[in-house]
Structure formats: structure tokens, C-alpha cells
Amino acid sequence: MSESPTIVWLRQDLRLADHPALAAAAARGGAVVPVYIWDEAGEGDWPLGGASRWWLHHSLAALDDALQGKGSRLVLRAGRAIEVLRALMAETGATAVYWSRRYEPGSIKRDREVKAALREDGAEVRSFNSALLHEPHTIRNKQGGPFKVFTPFWRHCLAREKEAVTPDLPATLRSPQTWPTCDDLSAWKLLPRRDWADGFSERWRPGENGAHEALAAFADEVINQYSDQRNFPGIRGTSRLSPYLHFGEISPRQIWAAVAALGAERGVFPASKGAQVFLAEVGWREFAYHLLFHFDHTPTHPLRDEFAAFPWRADEDGTLLRAWQNGRTGYPIVDAGMRELWATGWMHNRVRMVVASFLVKHLRLPWQRGAEWFWDTLVDADLASNTLGWQWSAGCGADAAPYFRVFAPVLQGGKFDGDGDYVRRWVPELASLPNKHLHAPWEAPEQVLTAAGVALGRNYPHPIVDHKEARDAALAAYQELRQGGRP
């Protein structure tokens, strides 16, 4: 054991439980100095978007409260990571730096540079798996390469032994003789200046406690019906754990253990079909990181190279993109999703697929524009999952939707929001329309529209594209691509 302090560099692991780096630092014997570094340049091409900054602000505040409950505190510093860490080592006498591994291209590059520099300084440097059930470099197919299809990937993962949850931290963490100076969190200006995020706090409670409350509610009320209810945006049929997972306020190991505990009560694992389907969604997150790690160009370039030549539509003045972003496409299920996103920083997964398909196939705008918008407006904006989802929708990634699959917004709305609860909540100008016409108001007789207070083109837009024409144009573009540009 060492008596010198250990710095724990926190990033997307903003929790105390199941935290290998913190546990190892406490076991080392000296003081533990938890630090979060605001290093935008170190994030590479993907610094945090606006919604993620809101979440981070509140998550850091919650983590500091939790650390103070253990007689410790969170040190906040802004600057280049290696410079901040060296300064803190000099100020505290720390001889070791521990952290949890990240898998984004920019983070990997930074971590390698920091690790090499600190070791050259003579420091002890250790990194740990905190974010995944199975790290990407440990999973290989029979040929020794990465998987590109989810089903065999997940089957392989299911057959592997899972790491146990890390033992709890001691009741108190040893403090350094003198705490280093700390930035004022408000000085980082993570919260938006405009009132955009006012609705976030009504939906979310960032922090480790909020994560476990969400997991408990899901396990008690939803998980056994998850396979039947997860596609209906008008009900609470999903876990809403994604932002907590992204920021590391809960780990997939903890989720796995919680589902295993439910199964133990019933003598089976998983506990139900719903639990099995839910764990497969955790598996999709694992698959996303597997792909990002092995194909680090995919946040901006298609995994399938031939799609780089796809004939996207020119939207020179941005009219189509803005209509989509603002929830003014004239297709109620699409507009409801985009407005939910803006108001809450989140969107139901079924609706994410619908709005993504609409952007890349109805509007034929590049999937990268959609990924950029989601990155800025989602509280669960995650580079791996965002990339996988958008490339799936565009048909250019691993395990992608076939090119000829074009989500029909009216059919999707009728099938998954048949009672209209979701659309009526987020598109209130249509609230008085009967269900028959709610998802296609342009087909309603004029007297029905008038009775419902709907004036197309005035308080709700006409469709910005015709579904059949847009679908035919998309299929023609995909067919042209498949034929190598030949007519």
C-alpha cells in the first residue's frame, strides 16, 4: 500500500458505486483526489452538445454532494488534461492517476498521450473498464475480426462470463492534507442562456440517485411488459436509462445484476421475455461501442463505403432541414418526436427511427445532419449509439435497415399511437382532431378541420413532401447507387 495520494480522473463515470478506479484508489491506501477536467479540445471533433452540457452541470453537482457524504469532494479544473493532471500532482503530491476507459476516437488518442506522458514523468497510471459489459478489444468473431452483425455479436457476448459489480467504497475516502483549488461550476457556463432547457428538469434528475430511481421504477412497473410496450411512445414503456448510462451514473454491470436479481426471485434468468428483450437493448449499446472502436471513421463516414456516393438532395437554404428540426414537417408523428426532443432532451426510440427515416429517405438529406442535431439536443447524446442509429436508418452501416425500408409516417403513427396520446401531447394544435384523421390531417374534410380548429398552412403546415413521391424518389436514388450510378 502507498501513502501518497491518488488522483482519480472522472469523465463518463460520474458515480460512486461499481467504480473500479475509485475502489482501486481507495484500496491503494493514500488520499483520493477525485477530479473532473473540462477539456473541450480533448474531445476531438465531438465536444459536448447543449443538452449534454445541461446534464453534465447537474450530474457534477450531484456527484460532489455524494463525495462530500464520504468526507471527500470533487475538484473541478478546466484546461488541457495533461497540464491539469500534472499541476494537481504537484499540488497534492500524488504519484498515481487512475481513470475509467473511454472508446471514442478523440478520447482514445488523448488517453494514450496522457498515459505515455505521465508514465514518462514516473507516475503510476492505471485505467479500468467502467462502461461496458465487454470491452471492444476483447470481442472477436471466428476469423479474429470485429463483428458487423448484431445477432452473432450478442450471442457471443451472452456466452461470456460477466464481470461482477465492484465492491462498495469504504464509508469515508481519505482526503489530502490540503485540497487543491477548485473551479466554480457555474463559471463553466454549461447551462443554456435561453429558456430552451426549462422543461428538462421536469423529466430528469441527473445523478447516481436519479439513475437508481429510474432503474427501480422500470424494474417494478415496466420491465416484464417491455417487449409488448416499448414501441408505444404515448406510454411509459421504456427504461429511460440511456442518459444515466452515457454519463456513467449507472453501469451496465449494475443493470445486469438487477435483472439477474429479478430472475433469481422467479428461478429463471432473464426474469421474463420483457427482461430478455431489454437486455438485448443493452447489447445494442455494447454493439455500438464495438463498431465505433473498430471503425473509428463512422461518426462522419458510412461504414459501407459505397454509400459515400449517395445522391443526397440539395437543401441550399436549409428550409427542409429547419422544418424537420422544428417539428414543422406536416407529418404529426414526426413533428411530435422533434418537439419532444426539443422540450425534454429525449425522444422515444420508435419515434427516433421514424424521424431519422423521414430525414434521410423522405427528405433525402445526409444522415450526418441528423446526427449533428441529435448530438446537440439529446441529453443521452452518445457518439457510439448516435452513429449506429443514424447509419442504421440510412442503410449505410452494420446490420443496417435495408435500403427499400422507408417508414411511412402515417402508418407508423396509426400503429404505435393509435389513440393519439403522443401526438396530442406534443402537437397540441391537432389535439381536437378525431383519431381517424390525427395522423393525416390533410386528408380530413374541411368541416372536420374547422371543427377541430385546424387551419392547414396557418396553425399547422401542409406536408413538406408527398409520401409516395418521396418514397419513390428515395428508392430510385438507392437503386441508382446499387447500380454504380448507371441509369
By annotation, the residues acting in catalysis are: 281, 284, 312, 349, 367, 390
14 is in an annotated binding site: no
131 is in an annotated binding site: no
456 is in an annotated binding site: no
Nearest to 320 by CA among 310, 308, 330, 333: 330
Q: Which amino acid is at 5?
A: P
238 is in an annotated binding site: yes
Nearest to 89 by CA among 127, 117, 130: 117
Q: Identify each DSSP E strand in 283-425 by its residue range.
A: none
Q: Identify each DSSP E strand in 109-197 by its residue range.
A: 124-128
Q: Identify each DSSP E strand in 194-342 by its residue range.
A: none
226 is in an annotated binding site: yes
220 is in an annotated binding site: no
* Structure letter (DSSP) for residue 14: -
**Residue reference for cell 393509435:** 418
Angstrom distances, CA of residue 448 to CA of 431, 436, 451, 454: 12, 11, 5, 9
Phi and psi dihedrals of 360, rounded to 5? Answer: -85, -20
6: enclosing H helix or E strand: strand 6-10
Peptide bond into 243 cis (omega under 30): no
Q: Kindly write down the DSSP assignment for every residue of 418-479, as one continuous string.
A: TT-HHHHHH-GGGTTS-HHHHT-GGGS-HHHHHHTT--BTTTBPPPSS-HHHHHHHHHHHHH
Q: How far apart are CA 462 and CA 455, in angstroms?
A: 9
Annotated binding-site residues read 226, 238-242, 278, 380-382
